[in-house]
Amino acid sequence: MASSGQFQLSKDAASHSKRVIDYVIRGPGRGKAFERMSDFVDCFSSRMAGTRELECAIDWAVAELRTSDFLDAQTEEFRMPRWSRGLEEASIVSPVRRKLSMLSLGYSAPTLPGGIEADCIVVHSFNELDSAAAQGLVRGRIVVFNQPWAGYDSTRQFRNHGPSLASKFGAVAALVRSVTPLAVDSPHAGVTLFDAAGATASPIPAACLAPDDAEALARWQRRQQTPRIRLSIQCSPTELDSIRSRNIVADLPGCDPAVAHELVVLCAHIDCWDVGQGAMDDAGGVFVAWEALRTIRQALQEHRTRRTIRLILFSGEELGLWGGRLYFEAHSSELAGRLSYMLETDGGTFDPRGVTCSGSAATTAALRTVLQPLESSLGACNVFEKLDGPDITEWASVGVPVGNLVTQRTGESADFYFQFHHSRGDTVSVQDPFEMDRCTAVMAVVALNLADASTMLPRGPEQAADKEPRLEA
Ligand SMILES: [Zn+2]
């Protein structure tokens, strides 16, 4: 039977929260999330789905959860498409000759073995693409999207959908300005879709360019000197359902027989792109969520929570949220009625500002009381009404409140994360031990107080996830 009645924190919520915060900010837990994350990404740097390195990282994490945390960690296998990077190169060959900084996009088609060479047409919007196509300037050419940065969700539409639109107009390849606010000659990876919204386009070679190079090509076009580009991409062609990966699920069991079947979920994704170390995206999230579980157990040794706290480390996120989607498909009917809240951390583990939450005004009001104990020591007690959390948003469609940890490096813009996202710059050097500790404290306090509250979080109306195919954070 589900818990019912008014949502209230347990009478020990304030004192337990304080012990958890002290343990991780000033006590034996201090610096642990950063230290463990660093050890992990230095050993398993390139955790792209379909690689042996990722599966070894998953094996290591499962063994560690079992032997160091004494948790009954399990894996759940799923299948997803295979795509892998090979040799790749792009150069401008006229009116000047030099190499361009590029990375092919996930699900790009390969070029012919010797590469291709074509004039390019630079556009800055989908409207410009339409009018260039109407003037016959797209067929047979390489389309370069040089869209301005307008925030991640808006700008990534060019990477997600630009190449397929270019393909429909007869382009031979597409190059997309990297989805980042920062131009330091660095390309940022990501996936592109050729079968979005049921409108299938023939896959063409597609890559992202450093913003600096996309702007340089636009300048040549403004001088009315059409840039000519040579492009070689030797990636694997996309093969559906051809690789397997695994989500990791580990429970800290609840002790109250009336509500131990109810769950609070902390989650992150263990896979990453094949450039950089995936320290920020999303090993930081993995170790903050994992340390939150450890902290609850070690800071409150005599205490067992009423509800079960579940850690889920999703796989296959970067190539299209495969692990999250398949977890929902496998478990939505069984779990929808007994999930209090699912909290992902996949937006950086900088200074925590609070969490997002789907649901109703009653959901956010209750969640504010859950975060209240953080206010005096960390100030990180905001609840933002927003449907967010890349691997878990579908759960909102069956009424489960879901959210993402909200963080921002103090003194930097909210876009700081996207200066490093999916690039060679996503390394341990971006992370900060004390920021990660504060994130751990937020995750631990949320999980602890929800697991011990009188009822599950109040729910709102069911919220449909985006109609557009959703991609990685
Ligand atoms: Zn991510």
Q: Collapse the DSSP code of 271 into the 3-class scheme (helix H, G, I; strand E, B; otherwise coil) and give the result.
A: coil
pLDDT band at 467 (very low <50, low <70, confident <90, very high): very low
Cα–Cα nearest to 119, from 233, 211, 221: 221
**At 320, which CATH number?**
3.40.630.10
pLDDT band at 468 (very low <50, low <70, confident <90, very high): very low
Q: Does residue 73 sit in the same domain as residue 93?
A: no
Residues 190-211 pLDDT 10s: 999 997 655 678 999 999 999 9
Q: Does residue 148 sit in the same domain as residue 183?
A: yes
Q: What confidence score (pLDDT) does residue 469 get? A: 44
Q: Does residue 247 sit in the same domain as residue 374?
A: yes
**Mean pLDDT score, 102-110:** 97
Q: Does residue 277 sit in the same domain as residue 363?
A: yes
Give me the chain's average pLDDT, please: 95
* Active-site amino acid positions: 317
Within-domain flag for 221: yes
Alpha carbons 79 and 106: distance in angstroms, whole number: 17
Q: Does residue 129 sit in the same domain as residue 268?
A: no
The sheet carrying 263-269 orders its strands as 74-82, 239-252, 308-314, 263-269, 339-344, 402-407, 352-357, 382-385
Instruction: Give residue 360's domain range.
Output: 13-82+243-452
**At 228, which CATH number?**
3.50.30.30
Residues 117-164 pLDDT 10s: 999 999 999 999 999 999 999 999 999 999 999 999 999 999 999 999
Within-domain flag for 471: no
Q: What confidence score (pLDDT) does residue 472 get? A: 41
Q: What is the ipTM of this complex?
A: 0.96
For ligand 1, the distance from its centroid to the CA atom of residue 417, given in whole angstroms, is 11
Residues with Cβ < 8 Å from 15, sequence gap 6 or more? none
For ligand 1, the distance from its centroid to the CA atom of residue 356, given in whole angstroms, is 16
Q: What confidence score (pLDDT) does residue 466 get? A: 54
pLDDT band at 460 (very low <50, low <70, confident <90, very high): confident
**Mean pLDDT score, 361-384:** 93
For ligand 1, the distance from its centroid to the CA atom of residue 177, given in whole angstroms, is 20
Amino acid at 386: K
Q: How many distinct structural domains can be found in the chain?
A: 2
Residue 468, token pair as written in the block: 């557009």
Amino acid at 84: S
For ligand 1, the distance from its centroid to the CA atom of residue 321, given in whole angstroms, is 9
Residues 173-195 pLDDT 10s: 999 999 999 999 999 999 999 97
Q: Does residue 280 sit in the same domain as residue 318?
A: yes
CA-CA distances (angstroms) from residue 366 to 22, 236, 446?
24, 49, 11
Angle between helices 13-25 and 433-452 (to 10 degrees): 160
